[in-house]
């Protein structure tokens, strides 16, 4: 009788864990509008505002215009991970209404134009995944360690992180 009860509790626990692993990410995606709403920071490019090893939380449910000073998450062709940097310029074309955005890491000496695709001096709204809503210090360190270990395995032992604000989950 005790074995049956323990087995039932174990199966129930496993079903609940699997349900949480499936439903929580889907639910947060619906609420935030972002596929991966929580990501670990892998570099120092946004220090001191956001540090390496912090966990950022991203949303994309706002229809508000982008503002200078806000921190966004964007994807650049050719880069494995999205980038989290601050908006430093917003340009709205007078005739077409098209929005163009220029970003920069707080700890970087130059803007991000060198990151954008060749011939594209500004980000376009479709490049932007979301806006950083908040962050938790140190919570992303497990992801940083895993990422560094993976890079070491891939590169044969040496790791050099460019001064770009990588994030991962």
Residue 42: predicted pLDDT: 86
Q: Is the pLDDT of residue 160 over 70?
A: no
Nearest to 79 by CA among 135, 123, 31: 123
List strand residue ranges (DSSP E) for 49-113, in order.
55-59, 71-74, 83-92, 99-104
List Cα–Cα distances, 126 to 64, 74, 89, 120, 150, in angstroms. 15, 9, 17, 13, 30
Active-site annotation, residues = 45, 85, 112
Q: Is the dihedral of CA 48, 52, 57, 59 positive or negative?
A: positive
What is this structure's pTM? Answer: 0.71
Closest C-alpha to 111, from 95, 125, 100: 100
pLDDT value at residue 123 = 94
Q: What is the pLDDT of residues 54-102, one digit of tens each?
A: 999 898 877 788 999 999 999 888 887 889 999 999 999 899 989 999 9
Q: What is the pLDDT of residue 77?
A: 84
- Answer whether residue 161 shows pLDDT above 50: no
Residue 105 has pLDDT above 90, yes or no: yes
- Tell me the average pLDDT across 35-62: 87
Question: For residue 135, what are the β-bridge partners?
Answer: 56
% of the chain exceeding 70 in pLDDT = 79
């Amino acid at each position: 009788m005790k074995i049956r009860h323990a087995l039932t509790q174990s199966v129930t626990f496993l079903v609940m864990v699997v349900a949480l692993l499936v439903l929580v990410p889907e639910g947060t995606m619906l609420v935030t509008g972002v596929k991966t709403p929580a990501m670990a920071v892998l570099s120092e490019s946004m220090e001191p505002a956001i540090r390496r090893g912090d966990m950022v939380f991203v949303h994309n449910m706002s229809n508000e215009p982008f503002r200078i000073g806000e921190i966004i998450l964007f994807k650049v062709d050719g880069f494995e991970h999205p980038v989290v940097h601050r908006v430093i310029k917003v340009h709205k074309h007078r005739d077409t209404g098209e929005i163009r955005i220029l970003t920069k890491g707080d700890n970087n000496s130059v803007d991000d134009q060198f990151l954008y695709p060749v011939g594209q001096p500004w980000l376009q709204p479709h490049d932007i995944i979301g806006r950083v809503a908040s962050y938790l210090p140190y919570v992303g360190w497990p992801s940083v360690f895993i990422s560094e270990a993976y890079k070491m395995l891939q590169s044969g032992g040496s790791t050099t992180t460019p001064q770009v604000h990588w994030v991962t989950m």
